[in-house]
């Protein structure tokens, strides 16, 4: 919940409002906050690092491998047709 400014992160007023609101309501919000009780904190050797309790959201692009493979097959087929046409032209030139 911040914006990237050069090598540092900066909280905007909106970021701060959201953090305070979630904290005040003691909410569990996926990829943002987790309400850990004393036992859970003790179980984690009193490590208060956010990454211990909140899993980051996976923002990687999801690729449809079947569609991608079909596109590659189509490109290869077109390449073979073009290669065949080039070979015919070269054969004609060489006579």
Picking from 41, 34, 92, 12, the residue whose alpha carbon sits closest to that of residue 1 is: 12
CA dihedral 37→41→42→44, nearest 10 degrees, is 140
Are 53 and 79 contained in the same domain? no
- What's the CA gap between 72 and 81, in Å, rounded? 14
pLDDT at 53 over 90: yes
pLDDT for the residue 40: 94
Total domain count for the chain? 2
Are 2 and 20 contained in the same domain? yes
Are 34 and 79 contained in the same domain? no
Are 71 and 90 contained in the same domain? yes
Q: Average pLDDT in the 56-70 region?
A: 90
Domain of residue 16: give its range: 1-59
pLDDT band at residue 73, thresholds of 50, 70 and 90? very high
Using a pLDDT cut of 70, give the percent of the chain over it: 99
pTM: 0.52
pLDDT for the residue 7: 79
């Amino acid at each position: 919940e911040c914006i990237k400014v050069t090598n540092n992160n900066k909280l905007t007023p909106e970021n701060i409002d959201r953090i305070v609101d979630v904290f005040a309501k003691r909410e569990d919000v996926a990829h943002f906050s987790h309400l850990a009780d004393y036992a859970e904190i003790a179980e984690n050797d009193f490590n208060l690092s956010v990454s211990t309790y909140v899993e980051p959201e996976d923002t990687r692009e999801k690729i449809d491998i079947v569609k991608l493979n079909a596109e590659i097959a189509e490109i290869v087929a077109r390449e073979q047709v073009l290669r065949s046409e080039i070979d015919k032209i070269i054969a004609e030139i060489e006579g």
